Structure 1
């Protein structure tokens, strides 16, 4: 086997650092490397990926755009696909779709780009196109775990439980097996549900999706089933405040709202939202002062939450993720609108920071507030209903709760918009 050149050895060092998630060091060495070997497209690409993983999205975009425009570095489908993925992180969906299409044009069987295009189509409610993308991946690789999961999930949202189960049971990616448990409940297979839940529990599978399913069964069917995520979620709702003196000024709040209204990123298709709009991507990744300051404030609030419930024996607190990211988005709702009941299956701890609320004059007692329940809106209920708790919220309130807990907004009438910044603590595996 021929000895590696100095260039190849140094490049492999950067690869190793990236794989070890030492992104700061990968960036440091990658910057030096690309100055010396300026035509090494793979190194530039890895440098862009390192910036992306480190959260410097603006610099990652600059590098991938440089690669695509470069006259001295051969074009590659990978560069376009990586640029598309980076655009998607900050909600620039239209640009992301263009990148994925270009990548597929250059490399028609590029599975990552085809799958990413399907996910982008989902963000814009192009469901048939999304399904075709995932099916195309499965024709290329019938056991592709991610596309089995995404196609199964698509059927889930359409409440086609049997078709969803067919794909989800074959996948071990993400929450596939937990979603399969969801299918068993919705198909009315109670015995199979309980048996499969026991299997997941033995494997220490713990997440908000399973937590919400088990809470629904506990409360509506009065089954004595231990909820390893949280069996007392209503008593783990916390309301605090983020004041100007905490570091997030009214000026920054207005800049965040203006960013949302300017549609600098594409609005996300959201079937649960009525007479409102939701941002796409992760707003915490924006290179904007309001994103940096708000992230700092919310991180402090998350630690306050953990401190408040430090003596709790609930699973989501005892098994707090070793590493996590904050994922944030903005939701604005106009008069007569609301957000239907749902929970955050990929979160851990969820919350909303309230920027604007309809004034109290002429409001019903609960108008515009947030309501919580153990009842999954799409799950069979047997004609029963769960307790419902409405929490009163005002501008600058922050409300946090276990991600398994179903929640919705109460419709309201008024001239002002209801504007909130929602976020999840999301585990990083």
Structure 2
């Protein structure tokens, strides 16, 4: 088991340090409508060809994990946004200074289409550093259905059972996304997608990132 040791600052006042916080990032792509329209057309055309994988999805459709290898302009643009987002997370230890980081980012990704009643079982993305989802379309959810189609993350600290004022200690964290939004999280974090109730399609692109030769200058 790996152990990390921190020195205690030589001060008279108490110092608050985060021990096992889970980093997560949400970011909305400005003016994403045109990109999403093109991605939607590419994904639904691929679904129509019957190119399908079954992993965590119950119902719905999922492509094989080569979607981000596509040469369509919208796929190339999405891949570029993903790499930029992951690099910004990599640069966080140096205040976001991208000039101070080095490393190669390998990406795999797959498209998802969920319709009424479809959902995804609890899972994680072992074998990668970062994982995430980009939301192309969230369909037309039925009104009054709480957390309809939301992605929910499980607290990795199973013994947390007492609320601490000012801190999030719930057993799960639900994110209700909107089109054009990225959600990024560590690949080991377990999560699932709640059933979608409504009309239309909920379309997303999920991805895994492997960082190689990462270093700070």
Q: Between Structure 1 and Structure 2, which shows a larger proportion of strand residues?
A: 2
Give yes or no for contact 1:358–1:416 (8 Å, CA) kept in 2.
Answer: yes
Structure 1 match to 2:118: 337
How does 1:84-233 map onto structure 2 within 5 Å?
198=1, 201=2, 231-233=20-22
Q: Is 1:371 aligned to 2:152, yes or no?
A: yes
Offset from partner CA, 1:217-267 (integer Å, 9 cap, x none):
xxxxxxxxxxxxx9311xx2211112336x962442233323332336x31
Shift of 1:291: 1.9
Larger radius of gyration: 1
Provide runs of 4+ in structure 1 moved above 4 Å.
none
Offset from partner CA, 1:67-102 (integer Å, 9 cap, x none):
xxxxxxxxxxxxxxxxxxxxxxxxxxxxxxxxxxxx
Query: For this pair of structures, how many residues does the alignment match?
Result: 185
Q: Is 1:261 aligned to 2:47, yes or no?
A: yes
Structure 1 residue runs without a partner (length 5+): 1-197, 205-229, 313-319
Counterparts in 2 of 1:250 and 1:344: CA distance versus 1, 3 Å = closer
Measure the CA separation in 2 of the matches of 1:350 and 1:248: 24
Measure the CA separation in 1 of the matches of 2:148 and 2:37: 27
Give yes or no for contact 2:123–2:191 (8 Å, CA) kept in 1.
Answer: yes
With structure 1 as the length reference, what TM-score do the two structures score? 0.39
Counterparts in 2 of 1:255 and 1:412: CA distance versus 1, 3 Å = closer
Measure the CA separation in 2 of the matches of 1:327 and 1:283: 8
Asked which structure has the greater RCO (Cα within 8 Å, sep 6+), the reply is 2
Counterparts in 2 of 1:358 and 1:287: CA distance versus 1, 3 Å = closer
Shift of 1:375: 5.0
Counterparts in 2 of 1:361 and 1:273: CA distance versus 1, 3 Å = closer
| Correspondent of 2:93 among 305, 310, 318 | 310
Measure the CA separation in 2 of the matches of 1:394 and 1:291: 19
Structure 2 residue runs without a partner (length 5+): 5-18, 96-100, 162-169
